Amino acid sequence: MQSSFIEVKNVTYKYDEDVENQVAINNVSLSIEKGSFTVILGHNGSGKSTLAKLLNGMLKPDKGRIVIDGLDTSKTENEYEIRKRLGLVFQNPDNQIICTIVEEDVAFGPENLGIEPKEIRKRVDEALSLVGMSDFAKAAPHQLSGGQKQRVALAGILAMEPECIVLDEPTAMLDPIGRKEVINAITRLNKEKNITVILITHFMEEAENADRVIIMNKGEIVADSEPLKVFSMSDVLKSSGLSLPQTTELLTLLKNGGLNVNSGIISPKGTADEIFSVISGR
């Protein structure tokens, strides 16, 4: 019986067979419910991208097992069905964008799924509009700015309409408003269409809407809980090389300074509300 959408059981992965001490993923177990929103944080080289590639079957576990919607990723015959269900947006859009025209590139995924042309047209237009790139449909990818490429790569996966999307730092090159737009779009897909989301990021504040936050450290999961709980684990954060968003940091300083505020808040507005209500005597 499989109750969750993703089951990762005691998975270990090593890039280089020969090197004894270098394990990219070390005995990781994890299960992800359908329709949930999970954020993964962790230092550079902690294994986030490796885990993402293990989930979509690009890499196969050396030890342990990964099952996506009942399909074992180490069986080659499952590859196609897994890609259909789980879409991975790569950390570097250049690794993903292959066609010479933006709209063809976005259509590439759905075409491979055997979707009919009329439906593809509709999905491509919708996906490009969702990421704000409709004006660039006919452009060549090499003519795009860094952030524009990142948006197109995201559109390519959205157009496949997978049940689960894994996003590897999708907002790293976006301006602040663009970042909010993309996070909002992803959150809407999760809430309205029940799409399972796994978001890898270095921006803690993007974890605000998540059901769950996972922290990776040297190939292992060292924390896994709801956002506010994880953000209050200052020892784990510190030993994992992470730092709090400015807002949480500010609230912590105020608390230490004698102001009786709740320090587990992330949004600037929520932070201001909390400070205001304490200052004005609740």
* Interaction site with ligand ATP (CB under 6 A): 15-16, 24, 42, 44-50, 91, 142-148, 173
As beta bridge partners, residue 71 has 68
User: Residue 182: which residues within 8 A CB-CB, separation 6 or more?
Assistant: 131, 151, 154, 170, 171, 174
**Smallest distance, ligand ATP to C-beta of residue 159, A:** 20
**Smallest distance, another protein to C-beta of residue 20, A:** 12
Helix, strand, or coil (residue 59) = coil
Which residue's CB is nearer to another protein, number 45 or number 70? 45
Residue 100 in contact with another protein, rule: CB under 8 A: no
Contact 193, 164 (CB under 8 A): no
- Give CA–CA dist 125/108, Å, rounded: 13
Pairing of β 220-225 and β 212-217: antiparallel
**Smallest distance, another protein to C-beta of residue 268, A:** 4
Name the binder of 245 from another protein, Mg ion, ligand ATP, none, CB < 5-8 A by kind: another protein
DSSP string, 102-170: HHHHHHHHHHHTT--HHHHHHHHHHHHHHTT-GGGTTS-GGGS-HHHHHHHHHHHHHTT--SEEEEEST
- List the one residue from 15, 29, 194, 229 that touches another protein (CB under 8 A): 15
Which residue's CB is nearer to ligand ATP, number 144 or number 242? 144
Residue 260 in contact with another protein, rule: CB under 8 A: no
- List the one residue from 45, 70, 117, 146 that touches Mg ion (CB under 5 A): 146
> Contacts with another protein in 218-247 (CB under 8 A)?
241-243, 245-247
Which residue's CB is nearer to ligand ATP, number 98 or number 279? 98
